[in-house]
Structure 1
Amino acid sequence: MSSAEPGTPNVSAQFTKVQRQYQQLLDRLTPFVLYRWLGTAGLLSIFMLRILFSQGWFIVCYALAIYLLNLLLAFLQPKFDPSLQDDLLADEIEGGGEDTGASLPSQRDDEFRPFVRRLPEWQFWLSATKATFLALLATMSEIFDIPVYWPILVIYWFILFTLTMRRQIQHMIKYKYIPFDFGRKVRYGSR
């Protein structure tokens, strides 16, 4: 005997249908990078206007800003961190092991290894959009409107942003990688 009556949809079937429709929407949005980011910027603008006009939910805003900063750092970092590979190589050399060759190319003749991000652009966009939407929903509840002196949060966030970006830029300079290609294709030889 079935637990569901004939004619009534099963809850898990409905959930699967909604999940499939959501995935189809995401699949259709994939090629439109500029429009996706413009939509996210618009959603973020709505959130900021909500914060400014209501003069509340500063903790929610701060939490969103910290989360977006973490996403940005993961987007700028390589998937295979050369500093960690250098540490592993140094440990092997000290331990009497052999060179595994797991470092970045040091000469022009070495193998080309493209920059692979720790967090791909698609995941960055999707996570940022979801977080902004959830933060906007959080501003609809008085529970999350915790009174706080907001200028301290702003100053602390700018200090945190400056320190982390300085460290990231120093890492990029030290290991000679640029996380952006600006649409230029490198050509070798004369044409």
Structure 2
Amino acid sequence: MEGIGGPPMPQWGHDAWRMYQYYLDKSTPHTTYRWIGSLVIVAIYCLRVYSDQGFYIFVFGLGIYLLNLLFGFGFLSPLVDPELEGSDGPLLPIKRSDEFKPFIRRLPEFKFWYSMTKAFCIAFVMTFFSVFDAPVFWPILLCYGIVLFVITMRRLIGHMIKYKYIPFSIGKRKYSGKKGSASSSGSRED
């Protein structure tokens, strides 16, 4: 049964993958440094696209992919979506006094960071091949991207309002502590 599934990975490929996974695992607790590294990669990619004056399709594709990562896969969405999952009882708050944390991530921060960084690295490598530089009129692509963003946000905000998990609160109760009590004025009776 060793022949099922194709030939085994060469030893050097397996070793390289293990080393990559080792360093990826070591970077997990260092959130700030990971994001700084990703911002450096994004800056290098932006400089590459700006200096070549091309590859606008990849910029557009990255924008759509990041929008999908943020809102589509659940980085900024409720843990349980009432439209997707049928439940026996209410999962979101019913009364105004019920507390609900609106954005509990379904997609962990590490996976979001990893997916975003990997997408920018792939797009950066593809900018070295002229076959991927499709000629487009970038203002139309920009307008299309803005329209797509507005439609996505309108749908998301409509969903927030419908299920009452708005990320900001208007008129949130403020507790000022106890009202002035007469017994705390200083006289003590024995």
TM-score range, shorter chain: 0.7 to 0.9
Query: What amino acid maps onto 2:33 in structure 1?
Result: Y
| Correspondence 1:172 to 2:160 | yes
The Cα shift of 1:17 comes to 1.6
Whichever structure has more helix as a proportion of its residues is 1
- Cross-structure match for 2:131: 143
Q: Distance in 2 between matches of 1:111 and 1:150?
A: 45
- Cross-structure match for 2:106: 118
Q: Distance in 1 between matches of 2:128 and 2:51?
A: 13
Q: CA RMSD in A?
A: 2.8
Q: Distance in 2 between matches of 1:146 and 1:113?
A: 44
Q: Secondary structure, in 3 states, of the residue corresponding to 1:83?
A: coil
- Cross-structure match for 2:172: none
Q: Distance in 1 between matches of 2:163 and 2:117?
A: 31
Q: Secondary structure, in 3 states, of the residue corresponding to 1:19?
A: helix
Contact 2:57 2:134 (8 Å CA) reproduced:
yes
The farther-off stretch of 22-31 and 105-114 is 105-114
Deviation digits for residues 62-115 of structure 1, max 9, x if unmatched? 111111111111211234212334xx46xxxxxxxxxx1252242489797885
Q: Secondary structure, in 3 states, of the residue corresponding to 1:82?
A: coil
Q: TM-score, normalised by structure 2?
A: 0.72
- Cross-structure match for 2:78: 78
Q: After the TM superposition, which residues 86-101 of structure 1 pair with which residues of structure 2 at under 5 Å, given as runs? A: 88=86, 100-101=88-89
Contact 2:77 2:106 (8 Å CA) reproduced:
yes
Q: Distance in 2 between matches of 1:179 and 1:39?
A: 29
Q: Which has the higher contact order (CA 8 A, sep 6+)?
A: 1
The farther-off stretch of 165-174 and 130-139 is 165-174
Contact 2:102 2:167 (8 Å CA) reproduced:
no
**Ranges in structure 1 where 5+ consecutive residues have no aligned partner:** 1-9, 90-99, 181-189
Q: Kindly, what percent of the aligned residue pairs are identical?
A: 49
Q: TM-score, normalised by structure 1?
A: 0.72
- Cross-structure match for 2:115: 127
In 2 relative to 1, CA 79–39 (structure 1 residues): closer, same or farther, beyond 3 Å? same
Q: Select 1:44's aligned residue among 42, 45, 50.
A: 42
Query: What amino acid maps onto 1:21 in structure 2?
Result: M
The farther-off stretch of 39-48 and 72-81 is 72-81
Deviation digits for residues 33-52 of structure 1, max 9, x if unmatched? 22212221221111111111
Contact 1:79 1:119 (8 Å CA) reproduced:
no
**Ranges in structure 2 where 5+ consecutive residues have no aligned partner:** 1-7, 169-176, 178-190
Q: Distance in 1 between matches of 2:10 and 2:60?
A: 37
Q: Distance in 1 between matches of 2:108 and 2:129?
A: 32
Aligned pairs, number? 161
Larger gyration radius, structure 1 or structure 2: 2
In 2 relative to 1, CA 153–113 (structure 1 residues): closer, same or farther, beyond 3 Å? closer
- Cross-structure match for 2:13: 15
